[in-house]
Chains A and B, each alone.
Chain A
């Protein structure tokens, strides 16, 4: 009898579930006890110490991690069953668990060596998740680019922790606010190292390919949770300093604005649903960076409310993005599961065949656009309100922070455009291909995972006050804001929750009435085609035609390629059009420059290293002469 290994898969899932449950229980207990207890132990690694602690800042990153990992592992049963993937299934499950463990380790670590250990474990587990389908060339390529990017980042982090160690005398993390100024190099190295992981533009090069290549529940974890470790690192490192120079905040604010706008602009130009979602991660990291930048500026200029609201908004967006991005990746996985393709233009009309997956995707789409009554709105609202604190009584340079607000509004509107496109082209209208005509609903295990995430999104949107204490204590552990400023600014959250309920009940009431009234309406007629009697699904708006208007507005940064599309003559012949938007930084800048460098060094090697022994002896002699003259007194 052939062993399918289904029992092992079940066991692996149960272990992830048990670990997540124990982990969340532990985090909640640590939060309720109130004191940030540090646990230390001797360790034979040089300069390292096994010291771990859970403070509210770690908890903000741990809670969505446990939830998404647990639900993703349930989802994996339906999406990547062992009997269909006997080769890759085991590795996927192992690395999935390893990634979770590594991330928990690095988030609770309070020592540089331990942190880097977790960081490297996470990077390698991530690599193996991305190359799960290693027989595919684009998965191998994505994995390789990821490996290069993440190790470049790690190099910067090694340097950063060394400098930090030289500054404090040990590799243990210093207490919040215990370092004086002078951390310019530390900040820049942290920004580079953590920025690569977080996917801040222009360091996002590895992200779109990697998240597209991994299996969907692994993408959900990579995109929703793993890139947040970069944010965690940045937040943790900035908490060490007592005085923050203003240019730190400005740098992060500007990077956030660039990532936000161009992340969503690139997303609009994509036709591959998972690449599109990956670019939205760049956008959301941009929003988080706007919040962090605002909070840093609040510390530089001593505006406690800006610190509180900016950081609370950024941290809540970390949680929110983890939830709704995971939800979107899981429902995209349901689409891929049933149609076998990632091309948006092959979908169409799937809401009839996949009513639940469609509903979950819609919920995720509304949430990621930052629209009420879902969770994305709450975090963006906090960031907005923080930025508004500088509207009065501040000197002119501080008031320039206000410019982040129209940027944020534009990011939101562009996200709406993008998700109307994805949802409309995928789930609405007529099916565009045979696969989507015969689409079927996802298995129950997948639906269960998606439902869990949608409920969490709705919970934060409708009961935002339930997270307010966690957020304010997390901000306090980042930087000590005066206590009396805590309660006031966040009090409207209750009213926002109520307005969400009012909105929902209004919609339910009117919707129910319309449904009653329209129950018996005829549904046999065709859509009005302006008198054209032979409509076909190919006449619908596609993902490219929907995005075209906006892509052309952003052509200065996107550089899309367009092929064909010209119709000539009175009786035009068959004509074709295709468009493609490669990544500007990776495909247009980095790869050509690298190729040129490789070519140059190849030529130089040919010139210098040509196999003539006499020439090599000449090198040796020249080297000796140079060394002798250089060492002469």
Chain B
């Protein structure tokens, strides 16, 4: 019970900080001071206090989008270990539930976008569902590689302490998996080079254009959910790169949170030094990632 509370507390309190770190890193690269680190918290608070505006076209499905977008990352976080902190809810095969939960969230976000009847939001919905079709096999290949290296089919076992040993013997496939999962984190969280959360040109956006018509607390729920999703998906990458178990609760927690912050810095750096890919390039890139992760699987099979 205590473990569950700690897990939730870390998730709910820490997630928006990652967005702040990314913004700060990008500002530092551009030679600006940038928004304060805690700005995302203030943004969420501000949105929380605002009222709603709903288009007259919309139905309850439009309200369901933010609800699902907020609840799913919280539920998914219960399945994944935060570094050395074990997952509160774990069973054989929970990795499939983990992947499919995000599918459910995608379904409702895209449906909510279509509910506005706007062609821009339709565009965003198409891109989101299309790109995830190509990202999904990559995730599965990565999880198979991890399952091959561990004993057990729960995320808890996949990301267990044996990884530090595995890095010595199986560094090549693990390295490929880390790269592929990092790309998946960028795609799923709509970051550059796949999507730009900061542009205001609807034609070029994916995720942002889908949530264009949301307002007030609903928008806040979406932003909060997106931040938690980044932290949850990031936990995969962080644990892979830093598979340290000290046995001391607070030290383990610090290692994990430090890893997440480093990931945020890395995302900020990638966003600063790369341009957005042209839209037709994104499927090619994702198919490339799938092949790369398939290659990682072949390396573990031999």
Residues of A within 8 A of B (CB): 348-349, 351-352, 362, 365-366, 369-372, 377, 380-381, 384-385, 388, 391-392, 396, 399, 402, 405-410, 412-414, 416-417, 419-420, 423-425, 427-430, 489, 491-492, 495-496, 499, 502-503, 506-507, 510-511, 514-515, 517-518, 521-530, 535, 537, 539-541, 545-546, 548-550, 553
Contact = CB atoms under 8 A, between A and B. Distances in A.
B64 A530 contact: no
A423 B53 CA distance: 24
Given A369-B103, A522-B54, A412 B63 contact: no
B115 to A, nearest CB: 4
Nearest to B93: A385
Interface string B82-104: 00000001011110110111011
B200 to A, nearest CB: 10
Nearest to B48: A517
B107 A518 contact: no
Interface stretch (B9-17, B134-142, B258-266): B134-142
Interface stretch (B145-153, B163-171, B244-252): B145-153
Contacts, number: 232
Contacts of A385: 92-93, 96, 153
A419 B99 CA distance: 18
B75 interface: yes
A459 B94 CA distance: 20
A321 B139 CA distance: 26
B217 A517 contact: yes
A507 B51 CA distance: 21
Contacts of A384: 93, 96
B56 A524 contact: yes
Label chain A's interface by main secondary structure.
helix
A437 to B, nearest CB: 13
B118 A388 contact: no
A539 B113 CA distance: 14
Interface stretch (B23-31, B125-133, B232-240): B125-133
A405 B107 CA distance: 21
Contact of B130 (A351, A399, A541, A549): A549
A506 B111 contact: no
Nearest to B104: A371
Nearest to B130: A549
Given A523-B55, A525-B55, 14 more contacts: A349-B57, A402-B144, A406-B136, A406-B137, A416-B133, A428-B117, A499-B97, A503-B72, A507-B67, A514-B218, A518-B63, A521-B216, A522-B54, A540-B117
A416 B132 CA distance: 10
A396 B53 contact: no
Interface residues on B, range: 35 or more
A548 B122 CA distance: 12
B66 interface: yes
Contacts of B151: 392
A428 B111 contact: yes
Contact of B93 (A381, A408, A511): A381
Contact of B111 (A405, A423, A492, A524): A423
Contacts of B218: 514, 518
Contacts of A348: 117
Given A381-B96, A553-B283, A502 B75 contact: yes
A391 B141 CA distance: 12
Residue from A413, A499, A514, A524 with most neighbouring chain B CB atoms (10 Å) = A413
B141 A406 contact: yes
A349 B116 CA distance: 10
B61 interface: yes
Contacts of A524: 56
A371 B147 CA distance: 22
A588 B239 CA distance: 51
A523 B54 contact: yes
Given A369-B103, A412-B103, A429 B116 contact: yes
Contact of B147 (A391, A429, A530): A391
B100 to A, nearest CB: 6
B297 interface: yes
Contacts of A499: 75, 89, 97
B136 A413 contact: yes
A534 to B, nearest CB: 13
B110 A410 contact: no
B214 to A, nearest CB: 11
A212 B164 CA distance: 56
A372 B147 CA distance: 22
Contacts of A351: 59, 61
A352 B59 contact: yes
A420 B63 contact: no
B68 interface: yes
Contacts of A352: 59
Given A381-B97, A385-B153, A541-B119, A372 B114 contact: no
Most A CB within 10 A of own CB, among B68, B110, B120, B130: B130
B100 A417 contact: no
B74 A420 contact: no
B93 A525 contact: no
Contact of A514 (B66, B75, B89, B91): B66
Contacts of B66: 514
